[in-house]
Amino acid sequence: MAKNYCTLSGDKPLIIAHRGASGLRPEHTLAAYQLAIDMGADYIEPDLVITQDGHLVARHDRYLSTTTNVSDLPEFADRKTEKPGHKGADWFVEDFTLAELKTLKARQPREGRLKRFDDNYDIPTFDEVLALAQEMSEQRGRRIGVYPETKHPTALEALGLSFDDALLSSLENHGYGTGNDPVFIQSFETGNLKRLKEKTSVRLVFLTEDVPTMSFEDIAKFASGVGPYKILLSDDELNSTGFIEKAHAAGLEVHPWTFRDDQPDARFPNKIKEARHYFDLGIDGGFFDFPDTGIAALKGYGCETSLE
């Protein structure tokens, strides 16, 4: 059996816990991140938005109705509002102070997933996520990384909320600032990544839903990796599209999203075969809602052995 991996470095692909172990706990809660760490994930992924008083918190969206109990709380009824770019009225993180936000409880937003942990956990700050990763790294004797995504940074900067400063000062306060630290900052916004590149040596990852219009060589000028929608990497017959080869040739790691046990890809007989297909293609990491699936797929795996 081959011993090496098909990654750019030859090291094991990273298992990134997408919104924590979000398939099994309400996403972006310390409980979801903790479960992912217990499963053996290499990185935990907080999506970040910012409160009215400038604190970064872990939420996928600026609106709160789908992932919290805010609609049940009469004290915040008058905070419901309409905003440009959002369909219908909702409650928005940037209209709450951190103290107010901390009174909300998280809920599972996706149909068919466990609801029994709803209303148990609060919304964590980015600082709390970093503290958890560091405490667990020490306790478990392995480096548990953090993979923050900046959500709507440019729009929030326009509202006077300084996203970059809050992000970088939290990282600095926890001792992160170099390319060797177990941190990747990810964004769909090239402008945000280019700004960050001027301010930090932490590794940056460019997220993309489509084949990028700019060259991988140009992406490599401001990022060390690219995070594509996984479907861009192989065709219907499971042949490589060449995305990974081109990215690797430019020195970029490739970390696709999102592997979901409960959203199977019909091209594969099971979730392990799906993950191993992407490992064979050469991904350097992957975002998993159920990180134990990624861990299981790596057991006994070596590059291009999955079909043996």
The residues binding ligand G3P (CB under 6 A) are 18, 47, 60, 149, 186, 207, 227, 257-258, 287
Identify the sign of the CA torsion 117, 45, 216, 267. negative
Shortest gap between Cβ of 60 and ligand G3P (angstroms)? 6
Shortest gap between Cβ of 46 and Ca ion (angstroms)? 8
Tell which one of 27, 149, 280, 292 touches Ca ion (CB under 5 A). Answer: 149
Count CB atoms within 10 A of the CB of residue 63: 20
Please report, as a single letter, which amino acid is at residue 244.
I
Q: Which is nearer to ligand G3P, 27 or 181 (CB)?
A: 27
User: Which of the listed partners (ligand G3P, Ca ion, none) does 207 bind, with a CB threshold of 5 to 8 Å by partner kind?
Assistant: ligand G3P
Q: Which stretch binds Ca ion (CB under 5 A): 40-48, 51-59, 66-74, 236-244?
A: 40-48
Burial call 192-222: b when 16+ CB within 10 Å, e when fewer: bbebbbeebebbbbbbbeeebeeebeebbeb
Q: What is the CA radius of gyration of the chain?
A: 19
Shortest gap between Cβ of 220 and ligand G3P (angstroms)? 19
Q: Give the Cα separation of 225 and 238 in Å (integer).
A: 23
Shortest gap between Cβ of 260 and Ca ion (angstroms)? 13
Q: Which is nearer to ligand G3P, 230 or 248 (CB)?
A: 230
Q: Give the Cα separation of 27 and 233 in Å (integer).
A: 26
Shortest gap between Cβ of 148 and Ca ion (angstroms)? 9
Residue with the closest Cβ to Ca ion? 149
Q: Which stretch binds Ca ion (CB under 5 A): 31-39, 145-153, 210-218, 246-254?
A: 145-153
Non-local CB neighbours of 78 within 8 Å, separated by 6+ positions: none
For position 90 contacting Ca ion by CB under 5 A, the verdict is: no
Q: Give the full edge-to-edge strand order of the sheet including 43-45.
A: 145-146, 43-45, 14-18, 285-288
Residue with the closest Cβ to ligand G3P? 257
Using CA atoms, how far residue 283 sits from 40, 214, 220, 308, in Å, is 18, 20, 17, 19
Shortest gap between Cβ of 57 and ligand G3P (angstroms)? 15
Tell which one of 5, 14, 43, 47 touches Ca ion (CB under 5 A). Answer: 47
Helix, strand, coil share (%) of the chain residues, nearest 5:
35, 15, 50
Query: Which helix (H) or strand (E) covers residue 47, if one does?
Result: strand 47-50
User: Which of the listed partners (Ca ion, ligand G3P, none) does 257 bind, with a CB threshold of 5 to 8 Å by partner kind?
Assistant: ligand G3P
Residues contributing to the site for Ca ion (CB under 5 A) = 47, 149
